Structure 1
Amino acid sequence: MAVSSSQLPAYKTAFLNSCLSAQILKLGSFTLKSGRQSPYFFNAGLFHRADLLLTISDAYAQTIAAARSSGELGEFDVLFGPAYKGIPLATATVGRLAEVDRAQFGSLSYSFNRKEAKTHGEGGNIVGAPLKGKRVVVVDDVITAGTAIREAMDIIAKEGAILVGIIVALDRMERMPDPRGEKEGQELDANAPRMSAIGQVRKEYGVPVMSILTLDDIIEGLNGVGTDEDVNRLEEYRRRYRASD
């Protein structure tokens, strides 16, 4: 299956094709941690191969560069990758950004945290650029419940840095699960939460949260090349769970 869409930028199409061919994005039936039955599953941990790492770092870089050009994202000094998945994503993306636009991003730094603070040598739990006084963009794979990204924000705040943006690989665009429970096949309660995890983070911290792909992008890319069954199931999932933000 090869995606080709005039509606998507070339880097999104290339990224989506890589995700599908490497089975990073799978179509089928998957039970999420929330208990929802999802027609697709995304595993960014599979971007471990050299060519795939180049693809995802280029997609992050192109998304960031586009956000800077449009004014959605302000100036920043450091890409921060939360341990562990964010570490290779941030470091690879810094290098790719310098290739995309050396004049604008050539002095950009990366930084990441240790899970346990180092007690010898220079000590601390930050590796790479010091964060104090720096403007920081967080790079991660996805935001689900928002717990991991909030931990990263706490680290950034404690280090005396300024959070200016967040970028993830995929925005599922779906509302947070109803804490009162959800039943498959039934319409959601009108009083159930309607905001997504990304929407909550965006509202709480007042910073842009960008993504390489959204569920809308996946459906757009698969139209005409995916099976009718897969596309219909994705569209129904979007209709049922789409967030208000």
Structure 2
Amino acid sequence: MQTGEAQTGADDALAQDFVQFAVDAGVLRFGEFKTKAGRLSPYFFNAGLFDDGAKLGRLAQFYARRIVGSGIEFDMVFGPAYKGIPLGAAVAIELARLGRNVPFAYNRKEAKDHGEGGSLVGAPLQGRVLIVDDVMSAGTAVRESIAIIRAAGATPHAVAIALDRQEKATEDGRDVDHSAVQYVRSQLGMQVCAIAKLADLLQYLAHGAAAGDLGAHHERVLAYRQRYGVEDAG
């Protein structure tokens, strides 16, 4: 098992606290939502709704605690456009507050032809780079980031995300037997750490179901995982 994959003990508590925070913030919602893959999901996670200073600051605390706890070694943080830009910046600030001050950079979708020019902003990309993003659906954004980082002569080393959906990715419109996270780990050779996983969400819902208020959501999310979940998701 790679560094950063295990989530036990205090880490489980961190994940449960994060799921509760996401629910309270309205970022994690339950109902019926169509995913990019065309599936009808019983839950939806929209990190764009961490939309004020307090929420973003607390989100960064969760990221930083998970990253530090993972033991992943890295030299700088990269935030891919667009959602990764505020996430990466906030995480870099929180890491510095925890005593781990590292450079930070991000990319533009369109390169500038004036001023400093180019498509990269911030510190020069160098060393082992940690990519910070919200979720990983198909791994496309990660592959784009890898190309940018390698083109600059740096090493794409690891990825930190908020939620691992632990479900089958799609390729050419069909389901495959691995998740985007598993693909990034096994095929791209990068470490991935997630603040929480679908298994943590199910644990949260199970506790609520025992109290009688989240039982229906637990059953639907469990059925969704049984249909689309990946084996040995970690």
TM-score (norm 2): 0.88
2:131 maps to 138
Report runs of 4+ in structure 1 exceeding 3 Å deviation.
6-11, 177-181
* Residue of structure 1 equivalent to 2:153: 160
Q: RMSD across aligned C-alpha pairs, in angstroms?
A: 1.7
Please tell me whether residue 233 in structure 1 is matched to residue 233 in structure 2. no
Matches within 5 A, 1:113-192: 113-131=107-125, 133-177=126-170, 179=172
Equivalent position to 1:76, from 74, 82, 89: 74
Equivalent residue in structure 2 for 1:26, among 29, 53, 67: 29
Structure 1: gaps spanning 5 or more residues: 1-5, 182-191
* Aligned partner (choices 212, 216, 220) of residue 203 of structure 2: 220
SS of corresponding position for 2:22: helix
Contact 1:135 1:163 in 2 (8 A): yes
CA-to-aligned-CA distance 1:11-50 (integer Å, 9 cap, x gap) = 3233212211121000111111211111100000111211
- Does the 8 Å CA contact 2:202/2:218 hold for their aligned counterparts? yes
State the distance in 2 between where 1:8 and 1:111 align. Answer: 28
**Equivalent residue of 1:223, what SS?**
helix
Q: Is the 8 A contact 1:30 1:37 kept in 2?
A: yes
- Seen in structure 2, the aligned counterparts of structure 1 residues 121 and 178 have a Cα distance that, compared at 3 Å, is closer
Q: Specify the code of the residue in structure 1 equivalent to 2:148.
A: I
CA contact (8 A) 1:15 1:55 kept: no
| TM-score, normalised with respect to structure 1 | 0.84
Which of 169, 194, 197 is the equivalent residue of 2:180? Answer: 197
Q: Report if the CA contact (8 A) 2:163-2:194 is conserved.
A: yes
1:202-237, CA deviations, whole angstroms, 9 ceiling, x for partnerless residues? 222101111111000011112222421111111111
Q: CA deviation at 1:10?
A: 4.0
Partners of 1:120 and 1:92 in 2: CA distance:
27
Contact in 2 for aligned 1:14/1:55 (Cα 8 Å): no
**Per-residue displacement from partner, 1:107-149 (whole Å, max 9, x unpaired)?**
x111000111121233221111101x32100000111121111
Q: How many residues are paired up?
A: 220
Equivalence for 2:62: 59
Whole-angstrom CA distance in 1 between matches of 2:108 and 2:88: 14
SS in 2 for 1:224: helix
Quick one: distance in 1 between partners of 2:11 and 2:216?
22
Percent identity of equivalent pairs? 41
Give the whole-Å Cα distance in 1 for the aligned partners of 2:206 and 2:81.
36
Q: Tell me which structure has the larger Cα radius of gyration.
A: 1
